[in-house]
Structure 1
Amino acid sequence: MSETRVGLSAWGAYAPRLRLSRKAAAQANAWIAPGLAGKAKGERAMANWDEDALTMAVEAARDALGPDDDRSHVDALYFASSTAPFSDRLNAGVVSAALTLEPATASADVTGSQRAGLTALAQALNAVRAGGSRNALVAAGEHRRARAASTQELDFGDGAAAFVVSGDDLAAEFLGHGAVTADFIDHFRGADAEFDYYWEERWIRDEGIIKLVPPAIKAALQAAGITGDQVTHFCFPCTFAGLAGNVAKACGIAPEVVRDNLAAQMGEAGSAHGLVLLAHALEQAKAGDVIVAAQFGQGAEALVFRVTDKASSRRPARGVTGSLADRKEETNYLKFLFFNGLVDWDKGMRAEKDNKTALTTLYRNSDMILGLVGGRCTETGVVQFPRTRISVAPNKPTVDTQEPYKFAERKAEVLTWSADYLTFAMAPPNHYGTIVFEGGGRIFMDITDVEPGDVDAGLPVKMVFRVKELDERRGFKRYFWKATPDRSRAAKAVAAE
């Protein structure tokens, strides 16, 4: 009896727009850590203050799923991260609500290791193959913090990737899986610790990666019925120069097929980075190519795929390539420290308020708050946010006639706006305004990823899922949607003129 065919039908990725210049960071720390000058090349993806592992995973998943409002085909969700915002709350549940997935969608968090992203993907592939799911969504996001003036601070990068796993219409067919589990501690972070503790690099390289990763890759190749010389793309996140090539050689894979690990443009995105490299390979691969994606972490995980002739038509609107192209250099190292909570600073009296979240209200209105779902009157067609019992239709305020209406994927533009230096803001001035949507409806909301001079009436914007506020007293993050410039649409409009 042959096994059910399964693989990847869609994928997406996300990297924050801000890119911290490693040269600027190294120069800022030269007085205390002159050795960082050796890493002062390129840039690393830097999350804005209102981004975290969860929000970036949502954006990658939206990229994978596309702009269609109907996502009822997704029946399982796996969220992978070692830096999830909640230790005891289903983070995947927040992702599910933001994506407006069906309540019957099975959800799980996968964490505890730097290979969690590939582990989640393997679990989804096995679930679909076994018939426990039809279309599973895997989303991985990472936002790791590191001590100031550390090598990790420059090596790390923030980002996310997502894949839709199914048995039909595949862009890449799953061929084999291999895994090795070993309590090899290259680094660890205790439950109450803020930062990772790292062991000696030579030990990690020689005793950990070299000995534990090749067996997992060889097992995956054997399960796939593939030899190393048939591999055309080898994805292996590693901050040690040249080590990925040594791992490939140990498995009979040609060193020249080792993929660029995107260190110069993005940095290493932890448990999400194996999926980021896999997504990047799919964007450039051609039909018949064989991709091996592997990652180290308390052992190793490896997956083998063969690209189909449908891959070229499945490339996402943004993907890794688009994310890397949409960048803004950040040379203010102090801003990086502030955004990552590495500086205890005076926020002033305007920040002195209680940000306690009414959890009952959040639950009762979760589709509006987390999913940006408003209402549309079935009698007049008038669209509004928030959804209420009484319609705002002029001259016909009907009662209980509204049906759910999703705003998150709709085109929009700025109607009115303000840049406010008086209210507290993590990145002043605080931009906000009235956003009007194509098809009707308007929402007063924050505008993010902008600087003075970026916003004007008529600016095309798109919706992004972000951190709204942080209740520091109780350790609770509140999420909502914000507007950000739709730069690709704005560029097209300018070109058309």
Structure 2
Amino acid sequence: MPGIISYAVSLPSLRLPASAYVENWGVCEARGLKQKAFCAYDEDPVTLGIQASKLALKRLGRKFPKIDALFFGVTTPPYEEKPSAATLPTALFDYNDIRVTEITGSPQAGIQALIAAIEYCEALPNRYSLAVAADAPVGKIDTHFEHALGAAGAAFVIGPGGGVANMINSLAITQESFGARFRRQGEERITDLELRTQGNLASVTAIGAKFSEIKGVGVGRIAIGAEPAVVRAVNRVFGLPEAEVISLWSQIGDAGSASAPFALAAAFDKMCAGDTVLAVGIGSGATAGLFKAEKGLVSNRGTGITADELIGCGRMVKYIEYLKHKRVFSI
């Protein structure tokens, strides 16, 4: 049975404290945010994806397997035409006979890429795939929702045996959401009607109802990429009052399609063999995967940095430097 055989996360090098918005705007509109990770002028989702992938492959040792397919989940790729996903294998491997699929258009894309990579290996036994989720959503600097926008990356190597974790179920719901953020063709920055919390709550409630139909499944953790108002409702809507909810939103910001995969990796950092985690990506619906940790998890994570450790490694900057990296001012 194919599953996850290695994983890793990445973050940009810079951090902005929520207090910077209070000092310069009088308030931080991202309630619950403590700090966020953001891309420097020379970083983007592709560089974050490459970094996470290199770390995940490194955890497998010097002789990691040949990757047959790569699935990239991202909402803000550098190019509208020209697959950004093609840059990843060029940077990672010395071969080009690899299938590349780019999944975009929704913050669900990261979890969708992970599930697609697993299903690829289920359909083609004894092959290996790489699922990469990386994102850095961008909004107009004078909008309220921009305060929350962060950046992150996560990568998962999929192969026979699934020594780290196996997916035991997946589910999805799709629904139009009036409050969902969007980015029209030709636009660099997203637009948000600032009703997103209502839409996300509706999506979480709908997939929670779908999950309740699955009988006899114990879940110890829920990894989700969502704002605090949604996170507070998760235990109730999934009917899992004792499950630990893991969301790094308050520490890294809204990392788009990478939010849920990053939270999943953070959950793996704390799990033991036999533990379970439900990873949920949200955006005009929701996609979820239920994973069970295997015996190889502890040894795999012991060879790299944890998500919590990585969060603490960044350099805090002042708001004026943040604006320079956002190209509001010249560097």
Partner of 1:216: 207
Partner of 1:155: 148
Runs of 4+ aligned structure 1 residues displaced above 6 Å come to none
Q: 1:69 to 1:107 in 2, by over 3 A?
A: farther
Q: 1:66 to 1:221 in 2, by over 3 A?
A: farther
CA contact (8 A) 1:176 1:220 kept: no
C-alpha distance in 1 between matches for 2:33 and 2:55: 29
Quote the offset at 1:226 in angstroms: 4.1
C-alpha distance in 2 between matches for 1:77 and 1:175: 21
How does 1:63-212 map onto structure 2 within 5 Å? 63-66=55-58, 68=61, 70-131=63-124, 134-185=127-178, 186-201=180-195, 204-206=196-198, 208-212=199-203
C-alpha distance in 1 between matches for 2:109 and 2:166: 21
C-alpha distance in 2 between matches for 1:133 and 1:183: 38
C-alpha distance in 1 between matches for 2:216 and 2:235: 14
**SS of the residue 2:265 aligns to:** helix
1:234 aligns with 2:222: yes
CA contact (8 A) 2:19 2:28 kept: no
Partner of 1:270: 256
**SS of the residue 1:284 aligns to:** coil
1:254 aligns with 2:248: no
CA contact (8 A) 2:74 2:257 kept: yes
Quote the offset at 1:40 in angstroms: 8.4
Q: 1:217 to 1:14 in 2, by over 3 A?
A: same
Q: Deviations over 1:424-471 (max 9, x none)?
A: xx4xxxxxxxxxxxxxxxxxxxxxxxxxxxxxxxxxxxxxxxxxxxxx
1:330 aligns with 2:323: no
Q: 1:217 to 1:306 in 2, by over 3 A?
A: farther
Match of 2:304 among 310, 317, 325: 317
AA matched with 2:37: A
Quote the offset at 1:321 in angstroms: 2.7
Q: Deviations over 1:82-127 (max 9, x none)?
A: 1111111121111001001521111111111111000111111111
C-alpha distance in 2 between matches for 1:44 and 1:109: 26
Q: 1:79 to 1:138 in 2, by over 3 A?
A: same
May I ask how many residue pairs the two structures share in their alignment? 328
Partner of 1:305: 291
CA contact (8 A) 2:234 2:245 kept: no
Partner of 2:8: 12
**Root-mean-square deviation (CA), in Å?**
2.2
AA matched with 2:259: H
Q: 1:169 to 1:297 in 2, by over 3 A?
A: closer
Q: 1:314 to 1:217 in 2, by over 3 A?
A: farther
Q: 1:8 to 1:141 in 2, by over 3 A?
A: same
CA contact (8 A) 1:22 1:39 kept: no
Quote the offset at 1:211 in angstroms: 3.0
C-alpha distance in 2 between matches for 1:239 and 1:149: 20
CA contact (8 A) 1:10 1:64 kept: yes
AA matched with 1:237: G
- Larger RCO, structures 1/2 (Cα 8 Å, 6+ apart): 2
Percent of pairs with identical residues: 24
C-alpha distance in 1 between matches for 2:30 and 2:91: 41
Instruction: Give the TM-score, by structure 1 length.
Output: 0.62
**SS of the residue 1:188 aligns to:** coil
The structure number with the bigger radius of gyration is: 1
Give structure 1 stretches of 5+ with no counterpart: 346-425, 427-497
C-alpha distance in 2 between matches for 1:278 and 1:23: 28
